[in-house]
Chains A and B, each alone.
Chain A
Amino acid sequence: MQYVVCGLSYKTSGVELRQKLALSPVQLADTARQLRQAGLDEAFVVSTCNRVEVYSVGPEGVGERAIPETLSAMSGVRLKTLSGALYAHKGEAAINHLFRVASSLDSLVVGEAQILGQMRAAYHVCREADQTGPSINRAVQRAFRVAKLVRNRTAIGEGRVSISSVAVERASHIFESFADKVVLLVGAGEMGELAARHFKAKGARQLRIINRSRDRADRLASRLDGVSRDWSELEVELATADIVVVATGATEPIITYKMMKRVVRARRHRTLVLLDISVPLNVEGKCRKLDNVWHFDVDDLEACAQDNLASRQSEADVAERFVRLEALNFHRLATHSMLQPALSNVSKWAADVRRSELARLKCLDELTDVQREAVLLMVHRLSGKLLHPLLTGVKIAARQNDVEGILRTALSLGQPADEK
C-alpha cells in the first residue's frame, strides 16, 4: 500500500495536451472510478488549466501502471505521447507533491489562491462519488491545513502579480473603498475588461465604458453590468469619474496633458486615479505632474508586479522547507497507521498457529490442570518472545521512515505460505 501521484502540469506539457486531458467534474469521478476498477484502493483526481493529476493509494506498482493507461483511455491521447509528459512520485515524495500543489508552490504564479479552491472542489466531487478512502482523506485534509498555514505564516500570497490586479491594488492605496467610486474604462479590449472585472469585484459603484466603436462598448457594458458612453463624451466622463482605466490599441496618446488640465479644473481638483495599461501608452506622461491626478502607466504597474513576484519567490523558499517537514511527518504517521492492520494480522496469525499446534498435542488431555496451564503459558510466552523483536523493530522503522522493506516482510508474515 502506498501513495502515488501521477499526472502532468504546465511544467511538463503544452497547453494543447493539457486541454485534451482536461476533465469536467463528472469526468473526475468517472476517472477515479475506472482507476479503482484497475486495482487502486483510493483515487482523487484534480484537473485545472495548469495540471491534471491523480493521487492514489493502492498496492505497489499498480498506480504507476494504471494511471497513465486510464488517462490515455479517457483522453484518447496515445500512451506513448502521454508518457513523455507524465511524472510520478510515490511515498513521501507523493505527499510532498500534494502539499506543494495545495500550497501553491508548484503553481505557474507562485502563491495564487485559486488552486486551493480547485482542489477542494475536485476533492468534494471524488469524495461524494465515494472514490476516496481514509488514506486519501487524511492526506488531502492535511494538505489543505498545510496550505492554510503556509498562507498565514509566510507572505507568499501577498502582493498582486498581474497588471490588472496591481492596478486595483494601486487604486486601493488611494481610496478607502470603491463602493462610492465611478470607474471609467476607456477601450473595450481584453486587458481593460480584466481590470474592470477586478474593480467590479471590489465593489465599484458604477462602471462606465467608452470606446471608439460604440457597439463594442455596448456589448462589454452588458457583460459587465455597466453603462456605455459615446466617444465624444470622453472629456466629460473624465471630469466625473474617480478611476480611469485606459486600455486602447491607439498608437498616440488619447488623453493629453492639455485635456487633463481642463479636466482637473472641471473636477475642482478632486482626486483622480488614471491607470494606463495600454502599450503604446495612451496617456501623456506629463499628466502625473497635475495636482491630485494619480497617473500610473504600464511600466509602473509591471515593475510592481515583478517585485511582488520576486518577493513571493523568496517567501516560497521558506514555505518549501515548512512543507517538506510537514510531508515527512505526515508520511511517517501515515505509514505507521497503514502498518497497524498488518501488525494485528501477525499477532492473529501467531495465535492461530498456537491453537492448531496445541490441538495437535494429544497428550495435553492426560496432563494435570497445573501441568496443562504451564504448557499453555509456555507456548504463549514463546510465540510472544519470538514475535516481539520483529514487531518492535517494524514499529521503530516506521517511525524512522525506513519501513518499506520491513513492511513487506511484516505483510508476508500474516499470509499463508503459498501466497508468500
Chain B
Amino acid sequence: METLFAIGVGAYGAAAASFAASLIKNRPIFAVWGRRVLAGAVAFWSGLLVWRISQAGLGTEVWLALSALGLSGVYLAAAARYPLRPLGSFITTISAVLCLLALTAEPGTRHFVPLILGVHIGLAFIGITAFAFASALAMTYLLHARLLRSRSRAKLELVRRLPPLEVLDNLSLRATTVGFPLFTLSLLLGAFYAVRTSSGLSISWVLAITAWIVYLGVIQTRLVMGWQGARAAKATVLGFAVLMAVAASYALKVG
C-alpha cells in the first residue's frame, strides 16, 4: 500500500514539475502534459482510495489523500474555464505535500468511527481543500503582484503567462467563502463530539480555532469592508499555513 501511495505522490510530483517547466520555459505543451499527468494521478488516486476505504475504512491518511484529490479535481475543472495554467504548479505541489503527510500518517483507529466524527472529519477536509485552492490562488496573486511592479523584462515576460490579478482575487474569495461554512460546521461538530466524549483541549484544536479566526478575518474584511488584493491574499496564505499545521499535528498524532 505504501508503494502505491508513493507512486501516487510521484505522479503529483511529475505533474508539478511539468507545470513548473511550462512556467519557466514558457512552453504551453508542458502545461498540457502537466494536466494529462494530473488527470492520470486523479484517476489513480480515486481507484486507490476506493480500494483503501473498502479494505481499511476511513483513516487520517485517506482524508488527507482525499483532500489532495479534491483539490486537484477542482483545479482541473477550473483550469478548463479560466487561464490558470501557472497555478498548476502550486496545486500539484500542495497535493503532493498532503499525500506525503498521508504516507507518513499513523493508521490510527478506523473501525467504529461514530457518524458525528466521520462527518466532522469529512467536512473539515472538504473545507481544507477549498482553502488550499484559495491559498494557491493567493500565492499566485502575490507572485504576480511582485512581478508586475518590476521593470525587468524577464519578470514582465512571466507576468504575461499569469492570469489577471482580478481573476485570481475573485476565485480565491469564492473558494474561501465555499470552504468557510464547511470548516465552521466541522469545528462545531468536533466541539460537540469533544464535549460528549469529554476530550481535553489539544494543540490541533487550538490551531484549528486560530485558522478559523484568520479565515473569519479574511471573510469579514473582504465581504464587509471590501478589501481586495495583497493583504487579503497574505491572510489567506497565513490561514492555510495554520491549517497545514493542524493537518500535520493530526497526521503525526501530536495533538
Q: Nearest CB to that of B153 among chain A residues?
A: A307
Q: Give the Cβ gap from B81 to chain A, nearest Cβ, in Å.
A: 12
Q: With A294-B148, A303-B151, A307-B156 in contact, is A174–B164 under 8 Å at CB?
A: yes
What 0/1 readout, one digit per residue, does chain B (219-255) give for beta carbons within 8 Å of chain A? 0000001111111000000000000000000000000
A206 at interface by CB-CB < 8 Å: no
Q: How far does the Cβ of A297 sit from chain B's closest Cβ, in whole Å? A: 11
Taking the complex as formed, is A345 at the interface, i.e. its CB lies under 8 A from any CB of chain B?
no
A268 on interface, CB distance cutoff 8 Å: yes
A176/B151 in contact, CB under 8 A? no
Within 8 A of A (CB), among B142-168: 144, 148-149, 151, 153, 156, 159-160, 162-167
In the complex, A310→B162 CA distance in Å? 22
With A172-B164, A173-B164, A271-B165 as known contacts, state yes or no: A291 contacts B153, CB within 8 Å. Answer: no
- A-side interface mostly: helix
**Contact A174–B148 (Cβ < 8 Å):** yes
CB within 8 A of B153: which of A170, A299, A311?
Answer: A311
Write out the residue numbers on chain B whose beta carbons fall within 8 Å of the beta carbon of A175. Answer: 164-166
Docked CA distance A291–B163 (Å) = 20
Find the B residue at minimum CB distance from A271: B228
Using an 8 Å CB-CB cutoff, how does the interface string of A146-164 with B read, 1 for contact, 0 for none?
A: 0000000000000000000
B163 neighbours in A (Cβ, 8 Å) = 176
Complex contact A173–B148 (CB within 8 A):
yes
Instruction: Please determine whether B226 and A268 come into contact, CB atoms closer than 8 angstroms.
Output: yes
Q: A173-B148, A174-B148 are in contact. Are A269 and B229 (CB under 8 A)?
A: yes
Residue contact B166 to A174, C-beta cutoff 8 Å? yes
- Check B227 against A300 for contact (C-beta < 8 Å): no
| Pair B151/A300 contact, Cβ less than 8 Å | yes
C-beta contact mask, A22-39 vs B, less than 8 Å → 1, else 0?
A: 000000000000000000
A304 touches B148 (CB 8 A): no
Checking A173, A176, A288, A292 against B229 with a beta-carbon cut-off of 8 angstroms, the contacting residue is A292
Q: A307-B153, A307-B156 are in contact. Are A269 and B228 (CB under 8 A)?
A: yes
Chain B nearest CB from A286 CB (Å) reads 14
A236-265 at interface with B (beta carbon < 8 Å): none
Residues of B within 8 A of A291 (CB): 229-231
Residue among B149, B151, B226 making CB contact with A304, cutoff 8 Å: B151
CA A287 – CA B162 in complex, angstroms?
25
Distance in angstroms between the alpha carbons of A311 and B148 in the assembled complex: 18
Report A-chain residues with C-beta under 8 Å of the C-beta of B148: 170, 173-174, 294
Question: In the assembly, what is the distance between CA of A270 and CA of B226, in Å?
Answer: 7
Bound complex: CA of A270 vs CA of B229, how far in Å? 8
CA distance A173 to B162 in the complex (A): 8
Shortest beta-carbon distance, B4 to chain A, in Å? 41
Cβ–Cβ < 8 Å partners of B166 in chain A: 174-176, 271
Which chain A residues lie closer than 8 Å to B149 at the CB level?
288
- Whose C-beta in chain A lies nearest to the C-beta of B170? A176
Docked complex Cα distance between A5 and B162 (Å): 44
Residues of A within 8 A of B162 (CB): 173
Given the known interface contacts A172-B164, A175-B164, A175-B166, the answer about A269 and B156 at a Cβ–Cβ threshold of 8 Å is no
Pick from A292, A300, A304, A310 the residue with the most CB of B within 10 Å. A292
Residue numbers in A under 8 Å from B159 (CB-CB)? 173
Considering the chains assembled together, what is the distance between the CA atoms of A271 and B231 in angstroms? 12
Minimal beta-carbon separation of A192 from chain B (angstroms): 23
Tell me the minimal C-beta distance from A165 to chain B in angstroms. 14
Contact A176 B153 (CB under 8 A): no
State in angstroms the CA–CA spacing of A106 and B2 once bound together: 63
A window 298-329: CB within 8 A of B: 299-300, 303-304, 307, 310-311
Question: Taking the nearest CB of chain A, how far is it from the CB of B250, in angstroms?
Answer: 36
Bound together, the chains give a CA A291 to CA B167 distance in angstroms of 18
Is B227 within 8 A of A176, CB to CB?
Answer: no
Please state if B167 and A176 are interface contacts (CB–CB under 8 Å).
Answer: yes
Which chain A residues lie closer than 8 Å to B230 at the CB level? Answer: 291-292
Within the complex, what minimum Cβ distance (angstroms) separates A178 from chain B?
11
Residues of A within 8 A of B228 (CB): 269-271, 292
What is the distance, in angstroms, from B67's C-beta to the closest C-beta of chain A?
28
Interfacial chain B residues near A304, Cβ < 8 Å? 151, 156
- Across-interface contacts of A307 in B (CB, < 8 A): 153, 156
* Nearest neighbor of B227 in chain A, beta-carbon distance: A269
B160 contact set on A, CB distance < 8 A: 173
Render A277-297 as a binary contact track against B, CB cut-off 8 A, 1 for contact: 000000000001001101000
- Write out the residue numbers on chain A whose beta carbons fall within 8 Å of the beta carbon of B225: 268-269
Cα distance A304–B149 in the bound complex, in angstroms: 12
Residues on the B chain within 8 Å of A170, using CB: 148
Q: How far is the CB of A269 from chain B (nearest CB, A)?
A: 5
Q: Are A269 and B226 in contact (CB under 8 A)?
A: yes
Using A270-B228, A288-B149, A291-B231 as known contacts, list a sample of 7 further A-B pairs with CB atoms less than 8 Å apart, ordered by residue number in A.
A173-B144, A176-B164, A176-B167, A268-B227, A271-B166, A291-B230, A307-B153
7 examples of A-B residue contacts, CB within 8 angstroms? A170-B148, A175-B164, A176-B164, A176-B167, A271-B165, A271-B169, A304-B156
| A-B interface, 4 closest residue pairs, ranked by CB to CB distance from nearest | A268-B226, A307-B153, A292-B229, A176-B166
